[in-house]
Amino acid sequence: MNDQGGHARYYTPKFAGLIAGHRMSIRLRKFLGAIMLIVLVVAWALVAMALAQSPLIKANGVIEVLYYAVAGLGWVLPAMPLIRWMSRT
């Protein structure tokens, strides 16, 4: 049986993409990426909440607002390469 590239296609288990040299299916990549995104957001939120208790942040209202803006949007930067990897074909 040939796939679109003309190469012979053999049965490979779903986890074969995790082994070096094998291509990961888009479905598996999106599943793993979704799990990693959830872990990233939960870890980011926990760290942000812990840092928000710092007396340096609570001392000044302007610093507190800036901190919450950065902490609230900061997870997007590490998530961007992960989302790019998930959508790669």
pLDDT digits (tens, 9 = 90+) for 63-87: 999 999 999 999 999 999 999 999 8
Residue 32 included in any domain: yes
Residue 54 included in any domain: yes
Residue 75 included in any domain: yes
| Prediction pTM value | 0.68
Residue 31 included in any domain: yes
pLDDT of the residue at 52: 93
Residue 40 included in any domain: yes
pLDDT of the residue at 11: 52
Residue 72 included in any domain: yes
Per-residue burial over 69-82, b if 16 or more Cβ lie within 10 Å, else e, is eebeeebeeebeee
Positions of the chain with pLDDT under 70: 1-22
Q: How many CB atoms lie within 10 A of CB 67?
A: 19
Helix (H) or strand (E) holding 87: helix 76-87
- In the chain, how many domains are there? 1
Residue 9 included in any domain: no
Residue 66 included in any domain: yes
31 burial type by CB count under 10 A (0-12 exposed, 13-18 middle, 19+ buried): middle
Domain that holds residue 28: 23-87
Q: Distance from first CA to last CA of the chain, Å, rounded? A: 21
pLDDT of the residue at 9: 60
